[in-house]
Amino acid sequence: MAASPRRRSRRIAVAAAVAAAALTLGLTTGCDAVSKALDCVQTAEAVADSVTDLQQAVENASNDPTQIDEALASIDQNLDEIGDKTDNADVNKAVDHLNTAVSNVRTAVKNGDETPDLSPITDAAGELTKVCTP
């Protein structure tokens, strides 16, 4: 199955950001900083993909309500990875915001909300992508 135009566009943008980060950071800092920046960008891309999956899961909740839990768990796992790889205060703040948003959606779903508001998650994911991109 081919990637959707939205996902393909995001991947192209992330790839460009990775290339820019590698070039910029490679010229101004050591290899360790470049590695951390690339880890951040790659994990932010994974989070963005998980958020897209969550949006689709909410749209298809009547067919398979477990997809929402799976998508939220995927976001949690990606956030754990990025939290373990960085000591950047801005990244950690964005991760905290995203964790809070995920927790709020999980609570809403648990309380029976079949169409929870995902805008705090998408906003926080955008914040994470922004702080991971130089």
Task: State the Cα–Cα distance between residues 102 and 77, nearest whole angstrom.
Answer: 12
Say whether pLDDT at 10 is over 70.
Answer: no
Closest CA to 125 of 85, 97, 83: 97
Q: Which of 78-82, 111-115, 117-121 has the lowest mean pLDDT?
A: 78-82
Q: Is 64 helix (H, G, I), strand (E, B) or coil?
A: coil
> How large a percentage of the chain has pLDDT more than 70?
69
Task: State the Cα–Cα distance between residues 89 and 95, nearest whole angstrom.
Answer: 10
Say whether pLDDT at 29 is over 60.
Answer: no
pLDDT digits (tens, 9 = 90+) for 38-78: 667 777 787 888 888 888 888 887 777 788 888 888 888 88
- Which residue has better confidence, 119 or 8? 119
Residue tagged 């989070």 (tokens):
47
Task: Work out the mean pLDDT of the chain and round it to a whole number.
Answer: 74
> How large a percentage of the chain has pLDDT more than 90?
10
pLDDT band at 101 (very low <50, low <70, confident <90, very high): very high
Say whether pLDDT at 19 is over 50.
Answer: no
pLDDT band at 104 (very low <50, low <70, confident <90, very high): very high
Task: State the Cα–Cα distance between residues 37 and 132, nearest whole angstrom.
Answer: 7
